Structure 1
Amino acid sequence: MLQNISILNQALDVSVLRHNTISNNLANMDTPNYKPQKVVFEEVLKGELANSSFEGTRSNTKHIPIGNSQARPFITEESVVTQNNGNGVDVDKEMSDLTENSIWYQTLSYQLSEEFNLLKTAIKSR
């Protein structure tokens, strides 16, 4: 459960970073030779989780198992040129990405809220 909370927290942080990156791309849509940026995280996280062998030591079976994910997002520059001035920002794509990211953020927020509700229920039932 705590690992889920940690992963959801990281995903929310990445969603905020992605929102800022998309907003920056949109703000520079008329800047000559501007190359749009994108955030890469999901692929890194999947690889990290698949190769994760870290497990916390449990001295009691009632302890919650823990793991450690050190996946970090990074920003890459796309090399697409869509305008005559060398600018690569596709406004329709950026707006679509922004909408998708907003829905993803709302979903993550809901899932995190549900994880805390489960944790609260578990604490109350003790």
Structure 2
Amino acid sequence: MTFFSRTFDSLQHGLDYAALNNKTIANNIANVDTANYKAREVAFKSILNNELTANMQTKRTHDKHFNFNEVNSQFNVTTNNSTSYNHNGNNVDVDKEMSNLATNQIYYNALIDRMNGQFNSLQSVIRGGS
């Protein structure tokens, strides 16, 4: 599948992010009443690094120049320890988390639609364009 591999890889990275983000948001919502629980979120910088790695070609003119293909593509889950919204030390804002959950669901569905389109295109090519 070398014809679509780059697109599929980018979509897979996006789906991996959306799945981890959904799990992280659901965990925050589940712990809304847990004393001293601090909300977590998936760091956006990792997504940007994935896109740079997948979509940017660089020409290195010196060995010490930064190579974008060597960027670490792992997603990072961070904890916000700087705030407390509730008297029990918890900082989960359930309205914000529900909004994030809805946004993430739209993002996930868009990626699935795009991946389905890629599979349909591939299927059309296999069938000879009919």
TM range (shorter): 0.7 to 0.9
Indicate whether 1:113 and 2:123 are aligned: no
Matching residue's letter, 2:51: K
Give 5+ residue unaligned stretches, structure 2.
Answer: 59-68
Matching residue's letter, 1:81: S
1:102 aligns with: 105
Matching residue's letter, 2:121: L
Indicate whether 1:123 and 2:103 are aligned: no
3-state SS, counterpart of residue 105 of structure 1: helix
Deviation at 1:107, TM superposition (A): 0.5
Matching residue's letter, 1:72: Q
Indicate whether 1:73 and 2:75 are aligned: yes
Deviation at 1:71, TM superposition (A): 1.6
Counterpart contact for 1:22–1:37, Cα < 8 Å? yes
* RMSD over aligned Cα atoms: 2.5
TM-score, normalised by the number of residues in structure 1? 0.78
3-state SS, counterpart of residue 71 of structure 1: coil
Deviation at 1:51, TM superposition (A): 5.3
Deviation at 1:11, TM superposition (A): 1.0
What is the aligned residue count? 114
Deviation at 1:70, TM superposition (A): 5.7
Q: Which runs of 4+ in 1 moved over 4 A?
A: 50-53, 67-70
Matching residue's letter, 1:71: S
3-state SS, counterpart of residue 42 of structure 2: strand
TM-score, normalised by the number of residues in structure 2? 0.76
Deviation at 1:111, TM superposition (A): 0.3
